[in-house]
Structure 1
Amino acid sequence: MERPCLSRRHALLLPATAAGLGGLAACGPEDEGFGTAAPLRADDGAISLDEVPENASTLVNFGGKEPFVLLVRGAGEDIAGYSGYCTHNGCALRQEKTELDCPCHGSRFDATNGEVLVGPATRHLPEVTVVIENGEIRREQ
Structure 2
Amino acid sequence: MERPCLSRRHALLLPASAAGLGGLAACAPEDQGFGTAEPLRAEEGSIPLADVPENASTLVNFGGQQPFVLLVRGTGEDVSAYSGYCTHNGCALRQEETELDCPCHGSRFDATSGEVLVGPATRHLPSVEIVVEGDQIRRAS
TM-score range, shorter chain: 0.7 to 0.9
What is the rounded CA distance, in whole Å, between the counterparts of 1:27 and 1:33 in structure 2?
Answer: 9
Partner of 1:74: 74
Partner of 1:33: 33
Distance 1:109 1:15, change over 3 A: farther
Distance 1:22 1:76, change over 3 A: same
How many residue pairs match? The answer is 127
Matched ranges for 1:1-141 at <5 A: 16=18, 21=21, 24-141=24-141
TM-score (norm 1): 0.83
TM-score (norm 2): 0.83
Aligned residues of 1:27 and 1:103 also touching (Cα < 8 A): no
* Alignment gaps of 5+ in structure 1: 1-12
3-state DSSP of counterpart to 1:89: coil
3-state DSSP of counterpart to 2:18: coil
What is the rounded CA distance, in whole Å, between the counterparts of 1:133 and 1:86 in structure 2?
Answer: 28
Partner of 1:5: none
Runs of 4 or more above 3 Å deviation: 20-24
What is the rounded CA distance, in whole Å, between the counterparts of 1:32 and 1:16 in structure 2?
Answer: 22
Higher relative contact order (CA 8 A, sep 6+): 1
Aligned residues of 1:71 and 1:82 also touching (Cα < 8 A): yes
3-state DSSP of counterpart to 1:50: helix
Q: CA deviation at 1:14?
A: 7.3
What is the rounded CA distance, in whole Å, between the counterparts of 1:63 and 1:89 in structure 2?
Answer: 21
What is the rounded CA distance, in whole Å, between the counterparts of 2:55 and 2:16 in structure 1?
Answer: 40
Q: CA deviation at 1:15?
A: 6.3
Residue by residue over 1:27-74, the C-alpha shift from the partner in whole angstroms, topping out at 9 and shown as x without a partner, is: 322221111111111021100000000000100000001001000000
Partner of 2:9: none
Aligned residues of 1:31 and 1:38 also touching (Cα < 8 A): no
Q: CA deviation at 1:25?
A: 2.8
What is the rounded CA distance, in whole Å, between the counterparts of 1:114 and 1:15 in structure 2?
Answer: 36
**Percent sequence identity over matched residues?**
76
